[in-house]
Chain A
Amino acid sequence: MTTERDRALPAVTDLTRPFWEAANEGRLAIQGCQACGYYNHPPRPLCDRCQSGDLRFEEVSGDGTVWSFTVMHQKSIAGFQDSVPYVTALVELDEQKHLLLVTNLPGVSAENVKVGMRVKVSFERLSDEIALPQFVAAAS
Chain B
Amino acid sequence: MTWAGKGKVAVAGIGFSALTRRSEQHLGKLAFDAANAALADAGLETSQVDGLATYIMGGTGRDGVDSVSADYFLKHYTLSPEFRWYAELQQGMIASAVIEGANAIISGMANYVLVWRAMHNPPDRPYTQVTARTAQGDSQFSLPYGQSAVYQWHAMAYQRYLHEYGAKRESMAALAVNSRRNANMNERAYFRDTPMTEEDYLNSRFIAEPLCLFDCDIPIEGCAAFVLTSAERARDLKNPPAYIASVAQNTARNRPAMISYILDDYMACGATLAGQLWDDCGLGPEDMGAAQLYDGFSPSTYYWLEAAGFCPQGEAHAFVQDGRIAIEGEMPVNTFGGSLSEGRLHGMGHLAEAALQVTGRAGPRQVADCEASCAIDGSPLLRGSGVVFTSEP
Q: With A67-B160, A90-B156 in contact, do A101 and B141 touch (Cβ < 8 Å)?
A: yes
Most chain A CB atoms below 10 A, which of B128, B146, B155, B209: B146
Q: Which of A71, A73, A76, A88 contacts B145 (CB 8 A)?
A: A88
Q: Chain B 123-149, CB within 8 Å of chain A: the 1/0 string?
A: 000101111111111111111111111
Query: Within 8 Å CB of A116, what residues of B?
Result: 163
Within 8 A of A (CB), among B203-230: 205-211
B197 lies within 8 A of chain A by Cβ: no
Minimal beta-carbon separation of B162 from chain A (angstroms): 9
Asked whether A90 lies within 8 Å of B261 as measured between CB atoms, the reply is: yes
Bound form: Cα–Cα A85–B209 in Å: 10
A126 lies within 8 A of chain B by Cβ: yes
Minimal beta-carbon separation of B274 from chain A (angstroms): 23
Query: Within 8 Å CB of A130, what residues of B?
Result: 144
Bound form: Cα–Cα A38–B152 in Å: 27
Query: Within 8 Å CB of B144, what residues of A?
Result: 7-10, 126, 130, 132
Query: Within 8 Å CB of B145, what residues of A?
Result: 88, 102-104, 132
Q: With A80-B146, A102-B145 in contact, do A74 and B131 touch (Cβ < 8 Å)?
A: no
B162's closest neighbor in chain A, by CB? Answer: A115
Asked whether A72 lies within 8 Å of B141 as measured between CB atoms, the reply is: no
Query: Within 8 Å CB of A88, what residues of B?
Result: 142, 145-147, 152, 156
Query: Within 8 Å CB of A83, what residues of B?
Result: 146
A133's closest neighbor in chain B, by CB? Answer: B141
B58 lies within 8 A of chain A by Cβ: no
Query: Within 8 Å CB of B206, what residues of A?
Result: 71, 73, 85
Bound form: Cα–Cα A7–B144 in Å: 6
Please tell me the number of chain B residues within 8 Å of chain A, measured between CB atoms. Answer: 43
Q: Chain A 24-52, CB within 8 Å of chain B: the 1/0 string?
A: 00000000000000000110000010000
Bound form: Cα–Cα A14–B109 in Å: 46
B254 lies within 8 A of chain A by Cβ: yes
Minimal beta-carbon separation of A82 from chain B (angstroms): 11
Query: Within 8 Å CB of B128, what residues of A?
Result: 74, 76
Minimal beta-carbon separation of B166 from chain A (angstroms): 12
Q: Chain A 118-140, CB within 8 Å of chain B: the 1/0 string?
A: 00000000100010100000000
Q: Chain B 153-167, CB within 8 Å of chain A: the 1/0 string?
A: 001110110010000
Chosen A-B contacts, 23 in total, with CB atoms closer than 8 Å, are A8-B134, A8-B143, A8-B144, A10-B141, A11-B134, A11-B137, A16-B140, A42-B140, A70-B159, A70-B211, A72-B146, A73-B208, A73-B209, A78-B132, A86-B146, A88-B146, A98-B264, A100-B256, A100-B261, A100-B262, A101-B141, A104-B146, A115-B163
Identify the A interface with B (CB < 8 A): 6-12, 16, 41-42, 48, 67-74, 76-80, 83, 85-86, 88, 90, 98, 100-104, 110, 115-116, 126, 130, 132
Additional 12 contacts, C-beta under 8 A, given A42-B138, A88-B146: A11-B134, A42-B256, A68-B163, A68-B261, A70-B152, A73-B209, A76-B149, A78-B133, A83-B146, A98-B262, A102-B141, A102-B147
